[in-house]
Amino acid sequence: MLTAAFWGFVGGFALLLGAAAGLTLPVSKRVIGLIMGFGAGVLISALAFELTDEAFRTGGTDAVAIGLAAGALTFFAGDRVIDARGGDKRKRSSGAQAEGDPQAIVLGAVLDGIPESVAIGVSLLAGDGVGVAVVAAVFLSNVPESLAAATGLRAAGHSPRWIMGLWLGVAVVSSLAAALGYLALGGASPEVVAVIQAFAGGAILTMLADTMMPEAFEEGGDLVGLVTVLGFAVAFVLSTA
């Protein structure tokens, strides 16, 4: 469990690095958009090869179908609640967070991070050590995610201390989610684990389509498609290494 918590925090720590970069470096919105596109490609590759494909090999079509649907619907429902409370622009780099409720922004950040952390915890269940590709994908995608959000939160009037505190809290929750995911599923059947893997994949893909990719294309322009493919390819190489 402690190992899962550690690797969950490693993935979450990238949020702190991205937020620090967003607060201290003069990064343009176009660069932020391109970096977010790269991160989206990384996550798409990880959820395809490390989560969904692995779930299919273990649990078959039924596990994948049930897990993907449940993960997508769960994230969608949670996101709708948070959006209604003012957290819908939590990843914007433009400062649109000023229109939202700070509490909803915090809850939205936590919601976005939980599926990725559970995926890290589940990757340890095979007994072969942590899924390096999964951790790398979460790490590489979290940096641009928090970089864009921190830039927007700063423009919306939040203090650097508040922003860093937010991402530290999310990193801690990510660590706990990875540990709990590992602990809860330690004695589960392979079929149940397969459903949870697909569940994480469905939730992550819904998150990407809803919050991360729109921001990437809005700010990064037509080059985002190319850097998304690059991120996908990098993660694919990591998963086959």
Lowest mean pLDDT among 79-83, 97-101, 170-174, 195-199: 97-101
Q: Whole-number mean pLDDT of the chain? A: 81
For residue 70, pLDDT over 90 is answered with yes
pLDDT at 90: 56
For residue 227, pLDDT over 90 is answered with yes
As a whole number of angstroms, the distance between CA 219 and CA 223 comes to: 10
pLDDT at 96: 54
Instruction: Give the end-to-end CA distance of the chain in Å, rounded to a whole number.
Output: 26
pLDDT at 233: 92
**Environment class of 26 (CB within 10 Å of its CB; exposed 0-12, middle 13-18, buried 19+):** exposed
Q: What is the pLDDT of residues 106-116, one digit of tens each?
A: 676 677 777 77
For residue 40, pLDDT over 80 is answered with yes
Whether the model clears a pTM of 0.85, i.e. scores above it, the answer is no
- 127 versus 27: which is more confidently predicted? 27
For residue 204, pLDDT over 90 is answered with no
Per-range mean pLDDT, top range of 89-103, 114-128, 192-206: 192-206
pLDDT at 99: 55
CA distances from 7 to 15, 46, 98, 150, 189 (A): 14, 16, 33, 23, 23
pLDDT at 218: 84
Kindly indicate the confidence band of residue 88, based on its pLDDT and cuts at 50, 70 and 90. Answer: low
DSSP 41-72: HHHHHHIIIIIIHHHHHHHHHHHHHHHHHHHH
